[in-house]
Chain A
Amino acid sequence: MTDLNIPNKPSGTNASVKKALLLGSGALKIGEAGEFDYSGSQALKALREEGVETILINPNIATVQTSEGSADKIYFLPVTPYFVEKVIAKERPDSILLAFGGQTALNCGVQLFLNGILEKYNVKVLGTPVQAIMDTEDRELFVKKLDEIGMKTIKSTAVENLPDTLKAAEELGYPVIVRAAYALGGLGSGFCNNPEELKILAEKALSYSPQILVEKSLKGWKEIEYEVVRDRFDNCITVCNMENFDPLGIHTGESIVVAPSQTLSNSEYHKLRELAIRIVRHIGIVGECNVQYAFDPESEDYRVIEVNARLSRSSALASKATGYPLAFVAAKLGLGYGLFDLKNSVTKSTSAFFEPALDYIVVKIPRWDLGKFTGVSREIGSSMKSVGEIMAIGRSFEEAIQKGLRMIGQGMHGFVENKELKIEDIDKALREPTDKRIFVISKAFRKGYTIDQIHDLTKIDKWFLQKLYYIITTAEELEKFSPKNIDFEKSENPKFDELLRLAKKQGFSDFQICRALWKDRMDDVENMKILRSYRKKLGIVPCVKQIDTLAAEYPAQTNYLYLTYNGIENDVDYKGDHRSVIVLGSGAYRIGSSVEFDWCSVNALLTVRKEGYRSVMINYNPETVSTDYDMCDRLYFDELTFERVMDIIELENPHGVILSVGGQIPNNLALRLDNEKVNILGTSAKSIDNAEDRHKFSSMLDSLGIDQPRWKELTSLNDIHQFVEEVGYPVLVRPSYVLSGAAMNVCSNDEELKNFLQLAADVSKKYPVVVSRFIENAKEIEFDAVANKGEVLMYAISEHVEFAGVHSGDATIQFPPQRLYVETARQIKRVSRQIAKALNISGPFNIQFLAKDNNVRVIECNLRASRSFPFVSKVLKINLIELATKVMLGIPVEKPNKSAFDLDYVGIKASQFSFSRLQKADPVLGVDMSSTGEVGCIGDDFHEAMLTAMLSVGYSIPKKNVLFSTGPARSKADLLESARLLHEKGYNLFATGGSQKFLVENGVPATKVYWPNENESPNAIEMIHNRQIDLVVNIPKNLTPGELDNGYRIRRSSIDFNVPLITNSRLASAFIHAFCHIDADDIEIKSWNEYN
């Protein structure tokens, strides 16, 4: 053997890089989510390893990358050229990284380059050069570039106005697809079958992007992606390829995706691989890149769809799917390393220049939350709507997809044995896919559709359909058995046992099998216990396999694990020394649970490890940092179901399990794990139940003499009306989630109540409705804290800017509170201490309060970390999760000697909405959450923090025209001062009927504009369409139909034409005051550590 390959020395890295600026992606939004926290964190790690000083700009305070020690300096500022230039001027970095913060960072970087800012400050772009980025982003340049090397691209025409668009479509022939250049996740894209459809879509797309593309549609072709890495020595590898289960026409972010490809032959796989490498070399990528193809299912014909010259959602998925840390490697390559200099980070002995060999299949499934929005279309297509995703790993497709369908967390148990889906027209539902498509396929099979029929309607490759059909036949076989004929006391029932083994290999959960056996007479818990113990008696248990990048050819040094029934031996040994602690993660990102719980999970893991235990993570979200195998001693990339968690607990024999840092999914397992005698660290399962169970919690509050809004669980319409008579309108109505999935709502009168309850379907004993008194104009206050054995150790009180009625996840939050009575704060502390004591809390918890006139009422209490933990921890500079984890581990902790009242600065947490992606959704805030992300910004005073936060979530300071349509009398009055201020500042006010009258009567000049349905000029809609308005303030009045329609059209147009919109009077007032008091220029460029 020779040692010639051992890299003698790094091949001339860029030693001149001393200080590098990394751009983050800002708030999570549809199309740009947690994956960029993961890639940014990896890049920062790679830079720090090289001794490079790092500066990070990212206003997303809930991320792991914006944590202490992750970068040398962190700026919670908008990722826009304006602010980035200011940071550059202050910090004078020598280099910048643009590829790790999604499209936001890339677009910002391109602008900085074009404006000459990078040159002015002599900042070098590390990795892929900006010219190469532009070559991939601008469609015309892209096609030209690919033409140079004879690549086939989708024939498309770039146009900049409507007439040209229609002409281009005529030439190409319908159906056509429209894409916006420079857009995230296919924003403004879609299919059009005729000129009418095209006109509507093109108008909107042109409002986002100066240029749009019209292409011939290749519906039905396969969609294949390759992740390619190239170093500056021209060495290239493809780390992973992926195949979309859904054929072309459905955005890859909306598709079920498998890795590696399943239906490509060797020749096809390597043909596309070769083309990908040729493209990447020709464009001149240095780092990581994604190439997407359309691929003919009937020949080897192909088209290159696009190239992403940056880390992407797919690259995060590819990293998790293969174990190859793409972002980390890309950052190293940006510093000048060659791939041959780097080691495979799993084996730690072989080279990073290689292509992972998988010995499993991964399935990615998107998670939608379309039920949270009113009016939104449920069809999926060429524009992205999903808010999160999961990745399931198995050694058969059936196993992986069934796991994945459970992971999605929408009440499904797999491909079969789910609640019956109501579909009127199966053919149509197959032809025009919605977020339920996979379950429609299941239903179609059950109705007797053949594979060929389903293929004809969906164009999904028959291989996938065949595998799904296997699951159906197994379910049908199981259903033929009656539990009466199976003797679970015996140690075998040969016929059934064989089927049971097969079912488990196909990913059936115990629940699914029980439902197939017991059918409607099923008692979840008892039957599953019987099956589980029978199965264990037979030795039908899953085994643990490692993801090692080389299909077992070389030993792995990391413990990146999954469980499978398609194997007979574990890859890892179990010590049984009770020195490991399992942390349960938060699952798929969804509305209401996202990166903040990843931050909590990661911090719990780090603390567990620091305190001398082995840290074990269970989670399955490929977008997270907690599923980075470097973060813990053992990562189980697997389900968070009771069944799977118990499988792992039985193998690990841990010291204990932490389920209070991953949001509601792990919290919900408390009682069942406790029943199995699992050591739950921290607050007891009984206490968790006492807080979660509405009745128990309520009676506890009563016995403690703590006030709460009156509520009742009701089972008939009569009872509801009787209760409403007692407490009076408005009331908050929460229908049974199981039944309708409908949101809760506030109803102010009989008509609204009637309308809403109709939506919420039947009210019955089985599906009761909870009605509570809704207190108007009350402040909502969050109490985030850590307690030890019932004693509060540390707390953070924060206050919503909006009045109660806006979901706490959508509300703008100020910390420390700026306008809270001292007496209110005192009461909150007192009540919280009482609750902590009564529930004997040990660990993190959160209480939500309503406060009005110094009366404090408790809304709810969660005995787990809340969404605002990272925000308050980072503003306070005390890590509440670290503290809570120590408490849960039983390590003596001291009460931190710091209070929010000592802070000389203010933090504002603002929400990011993604309405622009959710066509037709009403962009209005309510008691159910609809935001997809958030930012947290710090300022020396409220105005500064407020303005920075609002700019960070995409608002801009209006130039001259503001449209008011301010709804009910109360909000009209609330906004009068703001209107006056705008007028004094020289803004032109436009207002609809009543609002205009009110303003003028109160001495604020305003121009009247007509309502959308009035058909007169100047009309609100027309002004928005013509971009004559810079800010729309629209406060919805109530749920009456006419009002809804006019208001809706104003709100929706604002979103569709990209005009900033505010729908809450308190927030509007805070924002207007902020930008009237200070300029963007007045915002101080201070890093996190400069706030002391």
Chain B
Amino acid sequence: MHKYKPVRLILENGMIFHGKSFGAEKAMSGEVVFNTSMVGYNESLTDPSYEGQILTLTYPLIGNYGVPANSQTNGISDFFESDRIHVKGLIVSDYSQEYSHWNAKRSLGQWLKDENIPGVCDIDTRLLTKVLREKGAMLGKIVFGNDNEVDLYDPESENQVAKASCREVIEYKHGNKKVVLVDCGVKLNIVRKLIKQNVHLIQVPWDYDFNQIDYDGLFISNGPGNPDHCEITVENLRKALQKDKPIFGICMGNQLLSKAAGANTYKLKYGHRGANQPVRKVGTDTCFVTSQNHGYAVDEKLLGSDWEPYFVNMNDGTNEGIRHKSKPFFSVQFHPEAAGGPTDTEFFFKEFVQML
């Protein structure tokens, strides 16, 4: 039997969960959230949108298929969503030290250790999830020694997008059409999917004045945290809206575009994180199962009169996308690039590029 060191997860409401450590032995704090996907831990851990958060996986058996190699194609990682683990910690129930997969190179625990991120197993993750559902997402910390080993860290207090975004412009020349990708913490699968459409992709930092580029299309990526930190990006977007070039946004991109279009955003009680979120195209009988990861949502009430809701969440009625009534501007709250999750809405990338 494996001897794992005892470790505790302490929530800001004082609840203590006793578990065992299978990752790095490092105290850490962040916002505790849960994800209900049954597969995709490699993708989630490297998803920049989790910056500042401690991730709880509701599926209890984790680590089964290990962790793939960090190989690259065209300078882009083949299997991960960024170049590092973004979560502050990982909470699971039943961790599999032994993994079995043709593609795996190391165990999940080893990877967490290699990247200095704590992993906690043997936690009643269902109980923890119910607490978060009822009380709302809250801060928490993973400690090994005394309770004050680390202070509670609130990701709200900082601009997480700035941390997750690239520092300088990166170009991928795979075609002639110029697409500017505003990187608020972009997942690599978005980059892969756009490149697949043969475009000249120009990835710029979140606060970059992209209006100076003569682009054919503008893409605003996903990203972590509160969209209110990205006023600069929203300002830039307002200018872009004066033009007629196609704009497509995902997740944070939807929130920023909505803000530029007049709407507000607000924090959801516990967010949408999972691979089974149902959305319906407004005014139609067409529905999609989508992958999601966001703690904030768009309040459509103040959306400009030129705009309309595009998609809606079928479980709780929250906004899942907006579009301009006459111009080629649209955005979705969910993740058409999947990774992890269902691939049903991948067609957006093709549709977007066809508009250019």
Contact = CB atoms under 8 A, between A and B. Distances in A.
A4 interface: yes
Contacts of A297: 102
A5 B60 contact: no
Contacts of A396: 60-61, 93-94
A824 interface: no
A556 B219 CA distance: 39
B274 A357 contact: yes
Contacts of A551: 36, 58-59, 126, 129, 274
Nearest to A265: B65
B165 interface: no
Interface in B114-138: 124-127, 129-130, 133
Given A263-B100, A270-B338, A2 B287 contact: no
B133 A552 contact: yes
Contacts of A466: 96, 98, 100
Interface string A508-546: 000000000000000000000000000000000001010
A235 interface: yes
Interface stretch (B144-152, B204-212, B222-230, B277-285): B277-285
B256 interface: no
B315 A354 contact: yes
A2 B276 contact: no
Interface in A548-574: 550-555, 566-569, 571
Interface string A820-849: 000000000000000000000000000000
Nearest to A394: B60
B312 interface: yes
Nearest to A354: B278
A340 B343 contact: no
B124 A568 contact: yes
Contacts, number: 197
Contacts of A358: 38, 59
Interface string A456-479: 000001110011001001100100
Nearest to B270: A553
B344 to A, nearest CB: 7
B159 interface: no
Contacts of A235: 285-287
Nearest to B318: A1
B314 A353 contact: yes
A339 B287 contact: yes
B309 A395 contact: no
A550 B124 CA distance: 16
Nearest to A6: B317
Interface stretch (B39-47, B82-90, B176-184): B39-47
Contacts of A263: 64-65, 100-101
A553 B129 contact: yes
B349 interface: no
A452 to B, nearest CB: 11
A463 B96 contact: yes
B70 interface: no
Contacts of A356: 276
Contacts of A6: 317
A1045 interface: no
A299 B100 CA distance: 13
A274 B338 CA distance: 12
Contact residue range for chain A? Answer: 35 or more
Interface string B291-318: 0000000011000000001001111111
A357 B1 contact: no
B291 to A, nearest CB: 9
Q: Most A CB atoms within 10 A — which of B275, B299, B314? A: B314
A350 B314 contact: yes
B100 A553 contact: no
A277 B342 CA distance: 11
Contact of A355 (B126, B127, B275, B313): B275
A359 interface: yes
Contacts of A545: 126
A20 B307 CA distance: 46
A351 B314 contact: yes
A2 B319 contact: yes
A338 interface: yes
A695 B312 CA distance: 71
Contact of A233 (B40, B59, B101, B285): B285
A599 to B, nearest CB: 34
Contacts of B126: 359, 395, 545, 551-552, 567, 571
Interface in B62-97: 64-65, 68, 79, 93-94, 96
Nearest to A351: B314
Contacts of A1: 299, 316-319
A568 B126 CA distance: 9
Contacts of B127: 567-569
Given A266-B40, A477-B1, A2 B102 contact: no
Interface in B247-294: 274-278, 280, 282-283, 285-287, 289
A1090 interface: no
Contacts of B94: 395-396, 566
A462 B195 CA distance: 37
A269 interface: yes
B338 A566 contact: no
Nearest to B299: A1
Given A354-B315, A552-B129, A553-B129, A359 B43 contact: no
Contact of A266 (B39, B125, B277): B39
Given A266-B42, A340-B314, A463-B99, A274 B343 contact: yes
Given A273-B342, A357-B274, A551-B59, A462 B309 contact: no
A936 B205 CA distance: 75
Nearest to B132: A552
A354 B314 CA distance: 9
A11 interface: yes
Contacts of A234: 286
B274 A260 contact: no
Nearest to B127: A569
B316 to A, nearest CB: 7
A658 interface: no
Interface string B20-42: 00000000000000101111101
A4 B312 contact: yes
A1 B297 CA distance: 9
B52 interface: no
B217 interface: no
Contacts of A872: none
A470 B65 CA distance: 17
Given A6-B317, A350-B314, A356-B276, A340 B61 contact: no
Nearest to A349: B315
A234 B318 CA distance: 23
Given A2-B319, A266-B39, A274-B343, A354 B276 contact: yes
Contacts of A361: 60-61
B85 to A, nearest CB: 16
A266 B35 CA distance: 14
A258 to B, nearest CB: 10
A543 B124 CA distance: 11
A360 interface: yes
A553 B273 CA distance: 9
What are the 4 tightest A-B residue pairs by CB atom distance, in nearest-first order? A266-B40, A463-B100, A551-B58, A266-B340
Interface of A: 1-6, 11, 233-237, 260-267, 269-270, 273-274, 277, 297-299, 338-340, 349-351, 353-361, 395-397, 461-463, 466-467, 470, 473-474, 477, 502, 543, 545, 550-555, 566-569, 571
18 contacts: A1-B299, A2-B318, A2-B319, A5-B280, A234-B286, A260-B59, A266-B339, A273-B343, A299-B102, A338-B285, A355-B342, A356-B276, A462-B98, A477-B1, A553-B36, A553-B58, A567-B126, A568-B127
Interface of B: 1, 34, 36-40, 42-43, 58-61, 64-65, 68, 79, 93-94, 96, 98-103, 124-127, 129-130, 133, 274-278, 280, 282-283, 285-287, 289, 299-300, 309, 312-319, 338-344
